[in-house]
Structure 1
């Protein structure tokens, strides 16, 4: 049986690889064919539409567990080594970006709470 920690680690690695692909996609030295493939993989990862719908038991998540990692692996093989190294170094600095994202999310949440407060106050 797959341990929860192992699954969490794989999920985190998948997220890191997608971010590395995104950085490589934006990199000027990445060849066009690698950019196209990386763009397709990123779009597929972010898309709510899957090859196999998630509501189908077992098979629904199979594409997320098999198709996506294979797409990432192919994309990484297409990206030049020096570009990939540079993108991995940038990804290592992701912690700063995460902190900024949390602060931005909190700010947006506060704005929504204030908007809801004003709407409720107006109608009650």
Structure 2
């Protein structure tokens, strides 16, 4: 498998895990790991910063696939299959068709910027 194919598969799996996280039939433990997986995938903060040669990307190559694997094992198969199909449909061109899917990321960055402004400029 080529690296570009692998990256596309990882992105698709993260999108499917996000949809499974939003599904009310997903068990609580699976939702917890799905939330951790999504948070780690979208987080600008890594355990090992990316500017450190080799090691910076190594944590992404090991931790993220491991979290995806655990999430896939915990989410029931029929829910995961439905979410993978839905992820293919919703993100056909690489962008969500509805703004609601990008809302958690927008809220996260608003909170980060708000915290920085409050911490350094208002106090």
Judge same fold: TM > 0.5, yes or no. Answer: yes
The alpha-carbon deviation at position 38 of structure 1 amounts to 0.4
Count of paired positions: 97
TM-score normalized with structure 2 length: 0.73
SS across alignment from 2:44: coil
Gaps of 5+ in 1: 102-124
**Structure with max Cα Rg:** 1
**Which of 92, 102, 122 is the aligned partner of 1:95?**
92
Where relative contact order (Cα < 8 A, 6+ residues apart) is larger, the structure is 2
Residues 65-85 of structure 1: CA deviation (Å, up to 9, x unaligned):
111001000000000111011
In 1, Cα distance between the equivalents of 2:13 and 2:7?
Answer: 10
Q: Counterparts of 1:42-121 in structure 2 under 5 Å?
A: 42-93=38-89, 94-95=91-92, 98=95, 100=97
Which sections of structure 2, spanning at least 5 residues, go unmatched?
Answer: 99-123
TM-score normalised per structure 1:
0.72
RMSD (Å) for aligned C-alpha atoms: 1.9
| Structure 2 counterpart of 1:119 | none
Over 6 Å off, 4+ runs: none
